[in-house]
């Protein structure tokens, strides 16, 4: 498997506060990688900086190409796509328009195929296609945010807290889609507080604490690691026994 995304020695600062310190990570083709960690560990900052929303010190390479000189829009054009924590939908526009704009850089034929693909993955969106994005439920908004990102046919999708504020049954549905995307050849970098669900779907995982990676490895191994179990999975006793 060839490397898709490679981040080397990344630092991200807000003024004098260094929110991300010396982080390195890789994501290969057809791989689901998750970054888990507590609230405020710097996960969202890291994802945003990889996308180009904040300046990042260090090297970010996508498909072997250094991204430093590229703006957000150019990174999107190269196949890197972020579904942000706050979803950033076009609230006063309907579902169909939101999706259409997801394929802003694509041809009409491409957009048509994208609609078909997204409506197959999320039949709910097809039912709601004339409804304003701002009036959707939280789960539907998350589906729309993911659908909008998929309209641009990304090679890699970065999902920031897709389960935030959603009912467990909807979370399960979203993680099923994540697994399905990998089968379709889309790599996923998943940031989650819901460590249990994330580790079940991911191949590899990084554990982030106070801006640094403290642990990394296969998701199955991380899931059984005692420190992780104690801090993030909430069943320390079960893991110990």
238: part of which helix (H) or strand (E)?
A: helix 236-240
For residues 128 and 96, what is the distance between their CA atoms, to the nearest angstrom?
A: 9
- Tell the smallest beta-carbon distance from residue 105 to other proteins (Å): 5
**Site membership for other proteins, residue 63 (CB under 8 A):** no
Binding segment (CB under 8 A) for other proteins, from list 11-19, 32-40, 82-90, 190-198: 82-90
The helix/strand count (H/E) of the chain reads as: 11, 10
**Site membership for other proteins, residue 127 (CB under 8 A):** no
**Site membership for other proteins, residue 141 (CB under 8 A):** no
For residues 75 and 95, what is the distance between their CA atoms, to the nearest angstrom?
A: 24
Identify which of residues 32 and 80 has a Cβ nearer to other proteins in the complex: 80
- In a 3-state reduction of DSSP, which class is residue 200? helix
182: part of which helix (H) or strand (E)?
A: helix 168-183
How is residue 1 written in tokens?
A: 């498997």
- Tell the smallest beta-carbon distance from residue 1 to other proteins (Å): 27
- Tell the smallest beta-carbon distance from residue 93 to other proteins (Å): 6
Please pick, from the candidates 28, 101, 230, 239, the single residue that binds other proteins as defined by CB under 8 A: 101
Site string for other proteins, 188-217 (x = CB under 8 A): ------------------------------
Site string for other proteins, 7-46 (x = CB under 8 A): ----------------------------------------
Please pick, from the candidates 37, 114, 152, 211, the single residue that binds other proteins as defined by CB under 8 A: 152
Whose CA is closest to 171, among 152, 158, 190?
Answer: 190
Identify which of residues 100 and 163 has a Cβ nearer to other proteins in the complex: 100
For residues 172 and 114, what is the distance between their CA atoms, to the nearest angstrom?
A: 23
- In a 3-state reduction of DSSP, which class is residue 208? strand
Please pick, from the candidates 37, 42, 102, 162, the single residue that binds other proteins as defined by CB under 8 A: 102
Contact 76, 105 (CB under 8 A): yes
For residues 119 and 83, what is the distance between their CA atoms, to the nearest angstrom?
A: 18
Which residue ranges make up the site for other proteins (CB under 8 A)? 51, 53, 69, 71-73, 76-77, 81-82, 84, 87-93, 97, 100-102, 104-105, 148-149, 151-152
């Amino acid at each position: 498997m060839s490397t898709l995304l490679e981040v080397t020695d990344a630092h991200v600062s807000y003024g004098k506060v260094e929110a991300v310190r010396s982080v390195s990570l890789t994501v290969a083709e057809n791989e689901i990688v998750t970054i888990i960690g507590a609230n405020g560990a710097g996960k969202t900052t890291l994802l945003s900086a990889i996308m180009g929303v904040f300046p990042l010190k260090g090297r970010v390479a996508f498909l072997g190409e250094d991204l430093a000189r590229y703006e957000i829009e150019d990174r999107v054009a190269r196949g890197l796509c972020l579904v942000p924590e706050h979803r950033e939908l076009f609230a006063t526009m309907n579902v169909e328009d939101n999706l259409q704009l997801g394929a802003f850089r694509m041809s009409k034929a491409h957009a048509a195929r994208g609609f078909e693909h997204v409506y197959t993955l999320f039949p709910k969106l097809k039912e709601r296609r004339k409804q304003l994005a701002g009036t959707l439920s939280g789960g539907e908004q998350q589906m729309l945010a993911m659908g909008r990102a998929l309209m641009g046919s990304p090679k890699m999708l970065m999902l920031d807290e897709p389960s935030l504020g959603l009912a467990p049954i909807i979370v399960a549905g979203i993680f099923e889609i994540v697994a399905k995307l990998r089968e379709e050849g889309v790599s996923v970098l998943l940031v989650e507080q819901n460590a249990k669900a994330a580790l079940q779907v991911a191949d590899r995982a990084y554990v982030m604490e106070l801006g640094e990676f403290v642990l990394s490895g296969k998701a199955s191994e991380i899931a059984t690691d005692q420190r992780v179990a104690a801090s993030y999975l909430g069943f320390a006793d079960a893991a110990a026994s």
